[in-house]
Amino acid sequence: MKHLFTGSIVFSLFLFLFNNCLLDSENHPDDPIKISELIKSPEELKGIELLDKCITAHGGLDNWNKYNGLSYQVESSKKWQYQLTQLKDRRTYSKSEEFEMGSDGKQVWVTPNADNIPGKSASFYYNVNFYFIAIPFVFKDSGVNAAYLGKNILDGKIYDLLKISFGSNIGQSADDLYFLYLDPENHQVAFLTHTVSFFDNTNEKVNSAKKYLNYNLVQGILMPTRLENYRLINRALGENTNRDLVFKDIKFHNHIPDEKVFEVPEMAIRESL
C-alpha cells in the first residue's frame, strides 16, 4: 500500500505540472511551452551533466557571471588586437593598428575601412575570438542544447564528446554545431570542432579542430592562452594551418569604465545584426 500511495502522489504531481504547463502556454500564446522541450533524452541529460562538470572545472558559472566585462590582447597571423566584451549583453569593442570595430548590440561597425578586417564579414568576425576563448561558459546561454555522443579518440587520446546545438532563431548562426572534446579526467576542454552556417546554412562540414592549450587561472577562471588550429581529415588531426590564436593580458572587469567605446562612430561602416 505504501508503494501505491507514493506512486499516486508522484502521478498527481506530474499531472499538476503538466496542467500548469498547458495553462501557462494558454496565458502566453506567443511563447507556448512544448512538452517535447521539457523531456530530455538520456544523451541530453548526460550532455548537460558533463557540460556542468566542464564549467565547474573551468571556474564555475557563478564566478563567470559575477563579472561584467572581459578584455585581452589576441594575436593572429602575427597581428595583435585588443578586444573588450560586455559579458551581460555581448557588446564588443576591438582595436588594432589597422581598424577599430565594435557592436552596440544592434549593428556592427568598423572604421576606417571594412576591408581591413580579417574574414568576409564584420558581423561574422566581430565576436568570433571572444566566443572561442569564452567556451564553455557561452554554452550556458539561453537556447543552447548539449548532448553526449560517447567516447571519441582524437590525436591518440580518448575524450568525452559533447554536441552543442542551438534552438531556432538563436543568434545569427542557429544552424552551427559545436563539438567539445573533454578530458575525462579533469573535464577541461581539450579540442573544439564546429561547422559554420553563417554564410551557408546547409554547410555541415567539420574540417578543422582547435586545440586548447596553456591554461592560466585568471581571477578564479581557467582561461586558454593558446588555440592551435589543425586540419581535420576523416576525423583525424592533420597539419597545423598556421591560424593559431595567442591570448595575453586576459582580465575580467567588475565594471567597464567607459561604455562609450561600444557606440557607433559617426563615419563608421555599419552592418546590421
Task: Return the number of other C-beta atoms located less than 10 Å from residue 260's C-beta.
Answer: 8
Predicted confidence band of residue 38 (pLDDT cuts 50, 70, 90): low
d(CA 98, CA 72): 17
The model's pLDDT over 125-165, given as tens digits with 9 standing for 90+, comes to: 899 999 999 999 999 999 999 999 999 999 999 999 999 99
Q: Could you please report the per-residue DSSP string of the chain?
A: -HHHHHHHHHHHHHHHHHHHHHHHHHH-TTSPPPHHHH---HHHHHHHHHHHHHHHHTT-HHHHHT-SEEEEEEEETTEEEEEEEETTT--EEEE-SS-EEEE-SSEEEEES-GGGSSSS-HHHHTTHHHHHHHTTGGGGSTTEEEEEEEEEEETTEEEEEEEEEE-TT-SS-TT--EEEEE-TTT--EEEEEE---SS-TT-----EEEEEEEEEEETTEEEEEEEEEEEEETTEEEEE-S--EEEEEEEEESS-S-GGGGSPPTT-EEEE-
CATH number of 42-272: 2.50.20
The residue assigned the cell 562540414 is: 205
Is-cis flag, bond preceding 112, omega within 30?
Answer: yes
d(CA 247, CA 76): 9
The model's pLDDT over 242-266, given as tens digits with 9 standing for 90+, comes to: 889 999 999 999 999 899 999 999 9
pTM, 2 dp: 0.81
The model's pLDDT over 88-128, given as tens digits with 9 standing for 90+, comes to: 999 999 999 999 999 999 999 999 877 777 766 787 789 99
Return mean pLDDT, the chain.
84
Domain boundaries, the chain: 2-38, 42-272
d(CA 135, CA 132): 6
d(CA 55, CA 19): 34
